[in-house]
């Protein structure tokens, strides 16, 4: 398998670097590990498209999968990637022992050691084309690795009936780190066609925007983290909905709509059975389609007050859904999506919260826009 081959090659580079530090510049073990890495990578079936290996804060990802030796690589030869050096290796056909050796020089010194045949260091995040800005609001670089991690977590949830808390928390940490580094923008959604693609990339988008909004309203880091986890899992109840309803391209029948509307309660039940998750994660799954005025679904008990966290995720969820191309309708412009949300302001969610979303979260994606006024700080006690 190519992922295993790439993992093995990087482990060999890690070993060659360790040997060089231990023995100096020349030792048979250095040459052995260097050649092993070159042989492994040159033996891959190349299609002309580079393989991207992304070095995140806590793991290493290639083709949407976490490499099993990621932590050891991160703590070893590749520790400079993302800190001084770019955070991504692009691997192409033509890699040889000389290019591996130059890569090791680069990793050791923190400076590019000349041309490396078949290897390029680059940053994952790319600025969207100017003419496509309106259709590509929020990007965390290549969306495949984050959506793959979320898909894996959801699959485990569906299989075991409870969420893998450690995996979700690690993914939430990656999202928050991307926002803190200023590299999180709304993932391009225009070319997404399948339900599967939409489900997972949509959840990542909602996670990014919810996290940014929670921070903008002044919540504590712990509360921002909980809301980010909640946003990533807000639709997990859809794993219990029949695929013929989820994948239907036309209008749902009344009975199908009622079944679809079960997903908040289904999600809350799954997450309530997942030890270690914050209660906020459960409440958001249940509340993200509820409105402040008592509308929406499911129908809450009398006197139920939708939490701040539920409102945060509601805004991000609706905005991203409206801005996304779906098989049954085209994506709306940002202006139209905000107009629809504006009509719900004060009805479905707090009007000030919506203003902060527009002036501080979305404005952060366009340098030409300046927030109208600083945000009101919301209480952290009952997010």
DSSP string, 336-351: HHHHHHHHHBTTTB-H
Residue 128's pLDDT band, with cuts at 50, 70 and 90, is very low
Range list of H helices, 110-164: 144-160
Residue where one domain finishes, among candidates 105, 122, 139: 122
How would you label 64-76 residue by residue, b for 16+ Cβ within 10 Å and e otherwise? bbbbeebeebbeb
The pLDDT of residue 224: 94
Cα-Cα-Cα-Cα torsion 100, 101, 103, 107, nearest 10 degrees, comes to: 130
What angle in degrees, to the nearest 10, is found between the helix axes of 144-160 and 165-180? 160
Give pLDDT tens digits for 148-160: 778 888 888 877 8
Verify that 188 and 310 share a domain, yes or no.
yes
Verify that 204 and 348 share a domain, yes or no.
yes
Verify that 87 and 197 share a domain, yes or no.
no
The average pLDDT across 212-220 equals 92
Cα atoms in the Cβ-side hemisphere of radius 13 Å centred on 15:
17
Residue 186's pLDDT band, with cuts at 50, 70 and 90, is low
The whole domain housing 280 covers 131-365
Higher pLDDT, 139 or 29: 29
Kindly provide the residue ranges of all beta strands, DSSP E only, lying in the chain, ordered along the sequence.
51-55, 60-62, 65-66, 88-91, 119-122
The pLDDT of residue 112: 81
Give pLDDT tens digits for 285-312: 999 999 999 999 998 888 889 999 999 9
For the chain, what is the domain count? 2
Is 70 inside a domain boundary?
A: yes
Q: In the chain, what percentage of residues exceed pLDDT 90?
A: 36
Name the DSSP class of 237: G
């Amino acid at each position: 398998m190519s992922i295993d081959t790439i993992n093995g090659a990087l482990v060999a580079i890690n070993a060659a670097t360790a040997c060089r530090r231990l023995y100096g510049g020349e030792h048979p073990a250095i040459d052995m590990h260097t050649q092993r890495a070159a042989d492994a990578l040159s033996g891959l079936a190349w299609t002309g498209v580079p393989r991207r290996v992304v070095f995140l804060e806590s793991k290493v990802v290639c083709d949407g999968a976490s490499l099993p030796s990621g932590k050891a690589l991160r703590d070893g030869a590749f520790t400079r990637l993302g800190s001084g050096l770019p955070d991504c290796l692009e691997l192409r056909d033509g890699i040889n022992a000389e290019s591996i050796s130059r890569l090791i020089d680069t990793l050791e010194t923190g400076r590019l050691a000349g041309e490396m045949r078949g290897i390029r260091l680059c940053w994952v995040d790319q600025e969207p084309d100017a003419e496509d800005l309106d259709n590509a609001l929020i990007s965390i670089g290549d969306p495949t690795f984050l959506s793959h991690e979320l898909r894996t977590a959801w699959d485990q949830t569906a299989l075991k009936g409870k969420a893998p808390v450690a995996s979700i928390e690690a993914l939430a940490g990656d999202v928050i780190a991307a926002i803190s580094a200023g590299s999180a923008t709304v993932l391009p959604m225009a070319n997404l066609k399948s339900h599967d693609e939409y489900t997972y990339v949509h959840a990542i988008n909602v996670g990014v925007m919810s996290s940014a909004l929670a921070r903008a309203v002044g919540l504590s880091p712990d509360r921002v983290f909980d809301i980010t986890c909640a946003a990533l899992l807000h639709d997990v109840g859809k794993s219990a909905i029949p695929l013929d309803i989820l994948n239907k391209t036309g209008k749902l029948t009344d009975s199908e709509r009622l079944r679809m509307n079960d997903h908040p309660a289904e999600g809350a039940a799954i997450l309530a059975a997942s030890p270690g998750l914050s209660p906020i994660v459960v409440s958001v799954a249940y509340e993200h389609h509820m409105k402040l005025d008592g509308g929406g679904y499911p129908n809450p008990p009398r006197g139920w007050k939708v939490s701040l966290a539920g409102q945060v995720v509601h805004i991000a969820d609706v905005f991203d859904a409206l801005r996304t191309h779906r098989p049954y309708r085209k994506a709306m412009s940002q202006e139209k999506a905000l107009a629809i949300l504006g009509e719900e302001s004060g009805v479905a969610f707090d009007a000030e919260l919506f203003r902060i979303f527009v002036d501080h979260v979305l404005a952060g994606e366009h340098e030409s826009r300046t927030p109208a006024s600083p945000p009101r700080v919301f209480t952290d006690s009952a997010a």
